[in-house]
């Protein structure tokens, strides 16, 4: 990775080298005892050159037209460039890539430098029947960026990384217009020059992009306070095969159905979001993070609900269930501070309880005022204050969790996450049903699971539920094992009244359940809107309204996969 190439991650895993965590002896022991996953037995990825990519070079007249649109140096078809856009970062994506299966790679990668060049690329692709997969940070964990061809012979990845301008920053109206390809750090750096922040910090923040956030209805770690990206979008600009859509920047409107909310979450299936005008706020003067303990998940949910419904919620507000709390404590390792914490929790009858992280950012006065208001709710609800060290530790490591997966994959441990949201009334019932679906499915397959859960986004009417599970891989049947869990968990979510995704998006992997959640008439209307924007069906085929589960039996013309 170079500074000019900021958001390219390791092709076989998350992030960049040098951040992999060391497993503590306690975690090692848990892996062995709970999952039956022995130490040693490393299973590294194949060599980069050995990954088989489809051998389907673009016809030369298409390449020539693309060269005309964006310049020769921005149309690339070398092995590494294609490999890096072969998939997102889901568990099945990494399983396949690590094993040398790069069948999801595009035939070429095109990097337009302006909104106009994006439109020109779409025009070439519509004319020649080439599928287009918009590609931002490539951090999708739902199969959103795999280069499927749909009904077309060829497919390109349209990489937005050259669209990195801050077009406008308005301190009076607290808005900023950002180009789609800005990564989190790039966007924040550009805004910081104006004393502003977007405050949107998904776990993928270091790599994911403004356009990707808007296209997938991203939620950030501080969205309880700052709002989800769909609540921050005031205006946008999108290139579609049918022409450009410009949704003007207004604070609110009654001018018919909201076209913004039709493109927000459209995941590249209707067009390419090239600019978004987002709500921003003054860069924070002050920042405070602290931890609390509650006796149980149910107790914690009551505390979170009270905070939100009494207008006293912190910006960041997270509750880990008993299992996830235990894992977090094990991950923290041993030492004087850890031992003291354990003793304190035991002494106060909170052994086996649950951890809450609360965080505030803003002006010093606002942080002080809001923290006092929240603390009074915590105290009233008998949450135990654990002070700032655990809160700071969370803040320090808040983008690091995905690296753990790579370490576990090396060790033939399956690990995945999935998420939903529901009302407070249904929260515990749904949590129980999904946990049981995951654990039951894996137990039946002879690979007993760890299943933990946390709440990371808190609303007046309900909250998100984010599940993390791990089990020993079924060697040779890794994808079947994963599909079985995915189906069971998703069935439980949809049957239990949740939404199939609270912030990961739909992609391929949630598409079958989106159909059940939304129902036929609604899905048909979305398909009709897509067809209006994209008459030739070139935009990100096989996703969202037309998706099938990753590595499900293919329904498209199969590509010839060959080693480079």
Residue nearer to its own copies on the CB measure, 99 or 306: 306
Contact, 388 vs 289, CB < 8 A? yes
Binding to its own copies in span 207-246, by CB under 8 A: 216-219, 228, 230, 234, 240, 242-246
Cα separation, 456 vs 390, whole angstroms: 16
Residue 200 binds to its own copies (criterion: CB under 8 A):
no
Residue 522 binds to its own copies (criterion: CB under 8 A):
yes
Residue 283 binds to its own copies (criterion: CB under 8 A):
no
For its own copies, the binding residue among 270, 329, 355, 356 (CB under 8 A) is 270
Residue nearer to its own copies on the CB measure, 295 or 502: 502
Give the 3-state secondary structure of residue 243: strand
For its own copies, the binding residue among 20, 153, 258, 322 (CB under 8 A) is 258
Write the DSSP symbol of residue 562.
E
Residue nearer to its own copies on the CB measure, 335 or 521: 521
Q: How many CA atoms within 13 Å lie on the side-chain side of 235?
A: 17
Q: How far apart are the first and last CA of the chain?
A: 22
For its own copies, the binding residue among 43, 334, 385, 423 (CB under 8 A) is 423
Residue 460 binds to its own copies (criterion: CB under 8 A):
yes
Contact, 118 vs 62, CB < 8 A? no
Q: What would the DSSP string read from start to end of 491-555?
A: HHHHHTT--S-SSS--TTTTHHHHHHHH-HHHHHHHHHHHHHH-TT--BSTTSGGG---TTSPP-
Residue 498 binds to its own copies (criterion: CB under 8 A):
yes
Residue 121 binds to its own copies (criterion: CB under 8 A):
no
Residue 231 Cβ vs its own copies, minimum distance, rounded to whole Å: 9
Residue 170 binds to its own copies (criterion: CB under 8 A):
yes
Residue nearer to its own copies on the CB measure, 379 or 525: 525
Residue nearer to its own copies on the CB measure, 287 or 516: 516
Q: Of 418, 441, 415, which Cα lies nearest the Cα of 430?
A: 418
For its own copies, the binding residue among 21, 59, 448, 497 (CB under 8 A) is 497
Chain-centroid distance of CA 523 in Å reads 23
Residue 132 Cβ vs its own copies, minimum distance, rounded to whole Å: 16
Binding to its own copies in span 299-338, by CB under 8 A: 305, 309, 311
Residue nearer to its own copies on the CB measure, 9 or 515: 515
Active site residue 466: yes
Cα separation, 295 vs 477, whole angstroms: 39
Kind and range of the H or E element at 419?
Answer: strand 413-423
For its own copies, the binding residue among 334, 376, 385, 461 (CB under 8 A) is 461
Residue 142 Cβ vs its own copies, minimum distance, rounded to whole Å: 9
Residue 531 Cβ vs its own copies, minimum distance, rounded to whole Å: 6
Q: List the 462-472 sheet strands across, edge first.
A: 384-387, 286-294, 354-362, 316-320, 450-455, 462-472, 413-423
Residue 527 binds to its own copies (criterion: CB under 8 A):
yes
Binding to its own copies in span 428-457, by CB under 8 A: 457
304: left (phi over 0), alpha (psi -120 to 50) or beta: alpha
Q: How many CA atoms within 13 Å lie on the side-chain side of 425?
A: 2
Residue 519 Cβ vs its own copies, minimum distance, rounded to whole Å: 6
Contact, 559 vs 149, CB < 8 A? yes
Residue 249 binds to its own copies (criterion: CB under 8 A):
yes
Catalytic residue among 403, 459, 466, 469: 466
Binding to its own copies in span 343-382, by CB under 8 A: 366
Beta bridge pairs of residue 168: 177
For its own copies, the binding residue among 253, 376, 555, 560 (CB under 8 A) is 253
Residue 264 Cβ vs its own copies, minimum distance, rounded to whole Å: 7
Cα separation, 273 vs 179, whole angstroms: 9
Question: Which range of residues in 337-345, 352-360, 404-412, 503-511 is near its own copies by CB under 8 A?
Answer: 503-511
Question: Which range of residues in 15-23, 31-39, 266-274, 392-400 is near its own copies by CB under 8 A?
Answer: 266-274
Residue 329 Cβ vs its own copies, minimum distance, rounded to whole Å: 29
Question: Which range of residues in 79-87, 319-327, 351-359, 458-466 is near its own copies by CB under 8 A?
Answer: 458-466
Residue 134 binds to its own copies (criterion: CB under 8 A):
no
Residue nearer to its own copies on the CB measure, 54 or 220: 220
The residues near 191 (Cβ < 8 Å, ≥ 6 apart) are: 166, 169, 176, 197, 198, 280, 283
For its own copies, the binding residue among 105, 130, 131, 526 (CB under 8 A) is 526
Kind and range of the H or E element at 362?
Answer: strand 354-362
Residue nearer to its own copies on the CB measure, 113 or 268: 268
Q: Of 250, 379, 365, 257, which Cα lies nearest the Cα of 306?
A: 379
Question: Which range of residues in 4-12, 185-193, 285-293, 528-536 is near its own copies by CB under 8 A?
Answer: 528-536
Chain-centroid distance of CA 142 in Å reads 8
Residue nearer to its own copies on the CB measure, 477 or 522: 522
Pair of tokens at residue 210: 């403004």
Residue 126 binds to its own copies (criterion: CB under 8 A):
no
Residue 459 binds to its own copies (criterion: CB under 8 A):
yes
- Number of helices (H), then strands (E), belonging to the chain: the values are 20, 20
Contact, 91 vs 414, CB < 8 A? yes
Contact, 442 vs 469, CB < 8 A? yes
Residue 377 Cβ vs its own copies, minimum distance, rounded to whole Å: 13
CA quadruple 438, 146, 184, 504: dihedral, nearest 10: -30
Q: What does DSSP say about strands 354-362 and 413-423: parallel, antiparallel, or unpaired? A: unpaired
Residue nearer to its own copies on the CB measure, 3 or 252: 252
Cα separation, 26 vs 181, whole angstroms: 41
**How many residues sit close enough to its own copies to count as binding (CB under 8 A)?**
86
Residue 463 binds to its own copies (criterion: CB under 8 A):
yes
Question: Which range of residues in 22-30, 115-123, 418-426, 444-452 is near its own copies by CB under 8 A?
Answer: 418-426
The residues assigned a catalytic role are 466
């Amino acid at each position: 990775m170079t500074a000019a190439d900021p958001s390219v991650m390791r092709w076989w895993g998350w992030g960049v080298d040098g951040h992999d965590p060391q497993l503590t002896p306690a975690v090692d022991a848990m892996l062995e005892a709970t999952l039956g996953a022995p130490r040693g037995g490393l299973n590294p990825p194949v060599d980069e050159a050995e990954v088989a990519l489809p051998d389907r070079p673009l016809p030369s007249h298409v390449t020539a037209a693309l060269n005309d649109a964006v310049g020769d140096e921005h149309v690339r078809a070398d092995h590494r460039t294609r490999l890096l856009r072969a998939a997102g970062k889901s568990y099945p994506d990494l399983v396949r890539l690590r094993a040398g299966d790069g069948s999801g790679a595009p035939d070429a990668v095109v990097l337009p430098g302006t909104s106009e060049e994006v439109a020109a690329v779409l025009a070439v692709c519509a004319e020649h029947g080439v599928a287009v997969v918009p590609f931002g940070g490539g951090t999708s964990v739902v199969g959103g960026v795999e280069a499927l061809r749909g009904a077309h012979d060829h497919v390109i990845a349209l990489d937005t990384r050259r669209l990195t301008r801050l077009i406008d920053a308005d301190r009076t109206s607290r808005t900023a217009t950002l180009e789609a390809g800005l990564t989190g750090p790039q966007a924040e750096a550009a805004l910081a020059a104006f004393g502003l922040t977007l405050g949107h910090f998904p776990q993928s923040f270091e790599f994911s992009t403004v356009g990707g956030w808007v296209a997938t209805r991203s939620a950030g770690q501080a969205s309880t306070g700052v709002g989800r990206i769909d609540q921050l979008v005031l205006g946008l600009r999108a290139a579609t095969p049918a022409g450009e859509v410009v949704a003007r920047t207004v604070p609110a409107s009654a001018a018919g159905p909201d076209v913004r909310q039709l493109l927000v979450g459209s995941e590249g299936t209707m067009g390419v979001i090239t600019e978004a005008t987002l709500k921003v706020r003054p860069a924070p003067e002050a920042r405070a993070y602290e931890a609390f303990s509650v006796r149980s998940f149910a107790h914690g949910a009551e505390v979170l609900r009270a905070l939100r419904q009494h207008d006293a919620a912190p910006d960041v507000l997270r509750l880990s269930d008993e299992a996830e709390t235990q894992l977090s404590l094990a991950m923290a390792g041993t030492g004087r501070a850890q031992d003291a914490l354990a003793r304190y929790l035991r002494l106060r009858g909170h052994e086996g309880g649950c951890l809450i992280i609360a965080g505030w950012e803003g002006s010093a006065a606002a942080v002080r005022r809001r923290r006092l208001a929240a603390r009074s709710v915590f105290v009233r609800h008998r949450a135990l204050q654990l002070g700032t060290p655990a809160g700071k530790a969370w803040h320090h490591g808040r983008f690091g969790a995905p690296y753990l997966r790579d370490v576990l994959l090396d060790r033939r441990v399956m690990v995945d996450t999935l998420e939903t949201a529901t009302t407070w009334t249904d929260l515990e019932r749904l949590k129980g049903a999904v946990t049981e679906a995951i654990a039951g499915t894996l137990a039946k397959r002879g690979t007993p699971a760890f299943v933990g859960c946390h709440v990371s986004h808190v609303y007046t009417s309900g909250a998100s539920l984010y599940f993390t599970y791990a089990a020993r891989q079924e060697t040779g049947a890794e994808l079947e094992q994963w599909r079985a869990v995915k189906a069971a968990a998703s069935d439980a979510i949809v049957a239990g009244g949740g939404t199939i995704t609270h912030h990961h998006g739909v992609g391929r992997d949630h598409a079958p359940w989106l159909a059940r959640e939304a129902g036929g008439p609604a899905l048909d209307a979305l398909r009709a809107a897509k067809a209006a924007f994209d008459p030739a069906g070139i935009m990100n085929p096989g996703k969202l309204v037309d998706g099938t589960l990753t590595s499900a039996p293919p329904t498209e013309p199969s590509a010839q996969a060959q080693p480079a």
